[in-house]
Amino acid sequence: MTDFPLINAVSFSDLLARTVLDSLSAHIAILDEKGNIVESNLAWRRYACLNGMEEKADAIGLNYLNICDGAEGKEAEDARQAARGIRAVLAGEIREFLYDYPCHSPHGKHWYYMRAVGMHFEKKVMAVVSHENITPLKLAEETLKEREQELQEQTQKLEESNVALKVLLRQREDDKKELEQKMLRNVKEMVLPYVEKLKNANLKAEQKTYTEIIENHLNDIISPFLHHLSAAGIFLTPQEMQVAALVREGRSSKEIAEILHIADTTVHFHRRNLRSKFGLKNRQSNLRSYLMSLA
């Protein structure tokens, strides 16, 4: 049986405490009831060395509260706030004090998260003070705030663009209505009177027919018929439009063929297309009645 050497319990406990303390990434210092540093860990000492405090890197014996009180410059208020919190912990007023603060240097921005926790030892209150580097978290927060600000600005610009677009669309609609009204007025006042004179002139039968067709088409233009087709999204070819207008007038397929100088079969072809486009699948549905209902 192999004999193992006995380890002194106190020595092992001290070794374990030191190992655990030095394994932590946070900069840790233990303060007595007066604020004097009685112990610090490896991370604390390394940070002190990086900042030019190699001779007293462990800071043992220094009064942490006095150092905070004597801080000057931009970090003075943060240091005093930390001192007030630690004093409250040492006085037993609070068990824990949390505080995050900036600690920028010429090499870049840095932030730390300080935590002071009360520790009772031999009827005295001591404090374990730790400083954890939270720079990556703060930088991420700053980036997030910048992105949120950019998003707000983009949203504002988009809202302004939407308002401008609505104004333009409203103006376009007003211009469209004005143009339509002007066109209708011109047709009624400047075209139809001359068509009426042609009808009363000594015209041949075919010429009279054409004149009537012209008049009917002009009336269609200024009637809601074409507007209904456009609003319904129904697209008709020019010849389908002619056939539809003549069917609506009550012209027979033969009459339409003669007027448009096309074959009867072509008229029937257009009528089938019109019924298909208007969704008149039932043979009993009358094409002319439907076209008249659009007026």
Q: What is the pLDDT of residue 1?
A: 44
In angstroms, the CA 295 to CA 247 distance is 13
Q: Please tell me the total count of domains within the chain.
A: 2
Q: Which letter does DSSP use for residue 105 in this model?
A: B
Task: Count CB-CB contacts under 10 A for residue 284.
Answer: 5
Q: Answer yes or no: are the C-beta atoms of 244 and 274 closer than 8 Å.
A: yes
In angstroms, the CA 63 to CA 72 distance is 16
Which of 133, 149, 167 is the C-terminal boundary of a domain?
Answer: 133
Could you tell me if 107 and 181 lie in one domain?
no
Q: What is the pLDDT of residue 96?
A: 96
Q: What is the pLDDT of residue 30?
A: 95
Average pLDDT of the chain to the nearest whole number: 84
Asked if residue 101 belongs to a domain, the reply is yes
Is this prediction's pTM over 0.85? Answer: no
50-64 confidence digits (pLDDT tens): 877 767 888 999 999
Asked if residue 148 belongs to a domain, the reply is no
Phi, psi of 105 (to 5 degrees): -140, 170
Share of the chain above pLDDT 70, in %: 89
Query: What's the whole-number mean pLDDT along residues 39-46?
Result: 93
Residue 120 has pLDDT above 60, yes or no: yes
Residue 36 vs residue 223, higher pLDDT: 36
Domain CATH number, residue 41: 3.30.450.20
Place of tokens 């009637």: 223
**Could you tell me the pLDDT band of residue 184, with boundaries at 50, 70 and 90?**
low
Q: Answer yes or no: are the C-beta atoms of 266 and 258 closer than 8 Å.
A: no
Residue 291 has pLDDT above 90, yes or no: no
Could you tell me if 45 and 113 lie in one domain?
yes
81-112 confidence digits (pLDDT tens): 999 999 999 999 999 999 998 887 777 888 99
**Torsional sign, CA 247, 248, 251, 252:** positive
Instruction: Domain of residue 276: give its range.
Output: 176-293
Asked if residue 141 belongs to a domain, the reply is no
Q: What is the pLDDT of residue 92?
A: 92
Q: Which letter does DSSP use for residue 208 in this model?
A: H
Could you tell me if 182 and 287 lie in one domain?
yes
Distance of CA 14 to the CA centre of its chain: 57
Beta strands in the chain (DSSP E): 27-31, 37-40, 96-102, 111-121, 124-133
Q: Which of 188-192, 229-233, 238-242 has the highest mean pLDDT?
A: 238-242
Measured CA distances, 143 to 81, 100, 139, 212 (Å) = 27, 18, 6, 75
